[in-house]
Amino acid sequence: MSFSWKEFDLYNPTPEHGMLRETVRAFTEAEVEPQAHEYDRKEEFNLPLFRKLGELGLLGITVPEEYGGSGLDATAAVIVHEELSASDPGFCLAYLAHSMLAVNNLAVNGGEEQKKKYLPRLCSGEWVGSMAMSEPAVGTDVLGMQTTAVKKGDDWVINGRKMWITNGTIDEKRTPCDFIWVYAKTGEKNGRPQLSTFVVEKTAPGFAVGQKIHDKLGMRASNTAELVFQDCHTPLNNLVGHEGDSVLHMMRNLELERLTLAAMSLGIARRSLEIMNRYSQERESFGKPLSHFGQIQTYIANSYAEYKAARAYVYETARRMDLNKEGNRADSDGVKLVATTMAKNVADRAIQVLGGYGYVGEYVVERLWRDAKLLEIGGGTIEAHQKNITRDLAKQPELIQR
């Protein structure tokens, strides 16, 4: 069978991917863009708009069709996150927390009864999901978490607090989301903490939203909250897998999480580049367009090259990703390491090109710049990625030549 490179499009490898991009881009322009500035300033999550993503089949994009999902691949997930983030990264972060951290986690790691019970409601948008791992004093060091779960009768009883939880609440009244994917310590084994995974519904006794986090630098259109578990009861069958399986669950899902966070960076960078390119041709200084001047050319050209390089890396990593197993951590760390800093830098240059106009909300880039910073922190810090990649290359030097 012959193969021509002209037949292959890395960014839209099939007609289905191309149609998905057109659909999400049209939805973003018509529905997401008009509300982005308002909801950022109000620091509110647009729940009605979020539910429309369910109508489009996007809330369970990687979930098998038998559970109400769309059954698509990692490339499809990247397309959606890139397109939404070109308009409203905060709204997209809420989408990521639901569709990747909660829904995909359940689809890959959950038991059959758990998937049948919860996935249809999560995929439709009837329910909103979140994932609770970070704690007030624990972030990257997940083995240091203090939240515990112990068996008592027919329930698991969970005690502890989770912090920085996207979608932890869905409104200003601190109404909790419907479904929480919770990691907790269930003891020790061979001197190491044993972490286990639980499903907690919002009606679980002993569960409540603590504080909603206000005054964030960016991502203000997604709600962030503290979750409190005080003798919280969840049924025994809400344990996911077996005791001690959490690290496996985390690793299976972490690669897709980091890939889609990198995809969000692509949307931020593309929009920033479009804005500064257009402005540099429309605005004149000393009788000439700004694009005539060497420093402006440096900003635009470097941004374009860095964006294109990162985009190719993200989509190539997506092409090779198997959603049902781990095995590509070096590159899922790598794309997030490269793309997140790239997006922040491109947004920063866009502000510089626009000058005073770049510093106000009307021209969008100040919001993109604020939102971009979170991507260097959430889902693993850039320092954690540097550590992971270095360790992986020491064990697998052949990755360099692959």
86 and 212 belong to one structural domain:
no
Question: Do 235 and 331 sit in the same domain of this protein?
Answer: no
Chain centroid offset of residue 386 CA: 19
- Please indicate, yes or no, whether residues 178 and 219 belong to a single structural domain of this protein: yes
Q: Count the Cβ atoms, other than its own, within 10 Å of residue 338.
A: 19
Residue 133's pLDDT is what?
94
Same domain, 124 and 212: no
Looking at the chain, the whole-number percentage of residues with pLDDT higher than 70 is: 98
- Give me the amino acid identity at 102: A
pLDDT of residue 3: 37
Residue 226: active-site member:
no
pLDDT of residue 231: 98
Q: Is the domain of 139 the same as that of 241?
A: yes
Backbone torsions φ then ψ of 210, nearest 5 degrees = -80, -110
H helices of 215-374, where? 246-282, 294-319, 329-354, 365-374
Query: pLDDT tens-digit profile of 224-248?
Result: 999 999 999 999 999 999 999 999 8
Domain C-terminal end among 72, 100, 128: 128
Count of other CB atoms within 10 angstroms of residue 105: 23
Q: Does residue 315 sit in the same domain as residue 360?
A: yes
The count of structural domains within the chain is: 3
Higher pLDDT, 126 or 322: 126
Domain with residue 191: its CATH number is: 2.40.110.10
Question: Is pLDDT at 158 greater than 60 in this prediction?
Answer: yes
d(CA 183, CA 210): 18
* Residues 190 and 224 reside in one and the same domain: yes
Q: For position 394, which CATH number holds?
A: 1.20.140.10
Cβ–Cβ under 8 Å, residues 261 and 76 = no
Residue 151's beta-bridge partner residues? 156
Residue 346 contacts residue 272 (beta carbons within 8 Å): yes
Q: What CA–CA distances, in Å, run from 151 to 196, 231, 237?
A: 12, 11, 11
DSSP state of 229: E
Residues 259 and 371 in one domain: yes
Q: Which of 225, 245, 265 is the last residue of a domain?
A: 245
User: Could you tell me if 143 and 184 lie in one domain?
Assistant: yes
Of 133, 118, 134, which Cα lies nearest the Cα of 197?
133
Do 236 and 175 lie in one domain? The reply is yes
> Which range of residues forms the domain containing residue 190?
130-245
User: Tell me, what DSSP letter sits at residue 286?
Assistant: T
Q: Can you give the pLDDT at residue 7?
A: 56
Question: Catalytic: which of 83, 135, 226, 257?
Answer: 257
pLDDT digit string, tens, across residues 309-330: 999 999 999 999 988 777 789 9
pTM beyond 0.75: the answer is yes
Residue matched to tokens 């496996």? 248
